[in-house]
Amino acid sequence: MNPSRRPLIAGNWKMFNGGRAGVELAEACVAFARDLPGVDVVIAPPYTALAAVADTIDGSPVALAAQNLYPKDQGPFTGEISGPMLEECGCTWVIVGHSERRQIFGETDAFVAEKTSAALAHDLLPIVCVGETLQQREAGETLRVVKQQIDAFLDVIARTPKAVAIAYEPVWAIGTGKTAGPTEAEEVHAAIRSWLEKKDADLAKRTRILYGGSVKADNAAALLACPNVDGALVGGASLDAGSFGAIARAARRPS
Ligand code: PGA
């Protein structure tokens, strides 16, 4: 982890804890985050829990993210939620282009770029997700695939001085218990950093590159020790405040 970037640990609750349970989990996250002043803790509940969780974390160090947004401000888009709505709910972050959105809902690179742009237009910092499938990794296409995904939104994030986050999440590691080892993760993170650097040196310095895919309390420290891993996007383990807190503690830097 590079000392110029504060570690960021984000919990993606996916389609879990959309009601009362979400408020309880958020309370528990506030409790551990108060003891971690050097770590940015972000939680991404389902839409139905956003307003209640926003109340719970108000005045605490925990920040609120949505898991998705629609790139238009308002209009006849049944079932969709816009950037201004998320902002009004208290979100300061939004996850964009998660592999489940790309794979299950057919989101393209161009649509992910459009969403990234809409997020930035509304004071929502995007956590833009990229990552290869198992088939692509086995075919030796990991870096080509990830570069193509990043190229689609590179201009968008280079146009703003805001510090966005990119999450490298190998699809084969999400929810499977398989993690990229620190060496595999660092190889891709370093490549991403070099592409950002080529575009703009300051962009490479300010962008936090998170690792995601079966991050747990027992593998977090090794991943977070990699020089280009600036944090983690955590799914399953973020549903338990004990393990999410342990991951966040693993991100602390020696003072
Ligand atoms: P996981 O999910 O930690 O359960 O593998 C990560 C993610 O999908 O963001």
Domain span at residue 226 reads 8-70+81-232
Q: How far is CA 128 from CA 45, 137, 153, 159, in A?
A: 17, 20, 9, 15
**pLDDT for residue 110:** 98
Q: How far apart are CA 56 and CA 129, in angstroms?
A: 27
Query: 242 in a domain, yes or no?
Result: no
Choose the residue to mutate in 9, 12, 240 for probing ligand 1, maximizing ligand atoms within 8 Å of C-beta.
12
Q: If you write DSSP's letter for every residue of 237-251 in order, what string do you get?
A: GGGSHHHHHHHHHHT
- Phi, then psi, of 103 in degrees rounded to 5: -80, -45
Query: 239 in a domain, yes or no?
Result: no
pLDDT in tens, 143-188: 999 999 999 999 999 999 999 999 999 999 988 888 889 999 999 9
CA angle 21, 165, 33 (to 5 degrees): 40
Q: Does 97 contact ligand 1 (Cβ within 6 A)?
A: no
Residue numbers annotated as active site: 98, 169
pTM listed for this prediction: 0.97
- Do 171 and 132 touch, CB atoms closer than 8 A? yes
Q: Does 214 contact ligand 1 (Cβ within 6 A)?
A: yes
- Do 60 and 35 touch, CB atoms closer than 8 A? no
Query: 2 in a domain, yes or no?
Result: no
- The total number of structural domains in the chain stands at 1
Query: 53 in a domain, yes or no?
Result: yes
Of the candidates 169, 70, 89, the residue with the CA atom closest to the CA atom of residue 128 = 169
pLDDT in tens, 102-113: 999 999 999 999
- CATH code of 134's domain: 3.20.20.70
Please identify every stretch of the chain with a pLDDT value under 50, giving residue numbers as ranges. Answer: none
- Do 150 and 130 touch, CB atoms closer than 8 A? yes
**pLDDT for residue 3:** 57
Residue 227 host element (H or E):
none
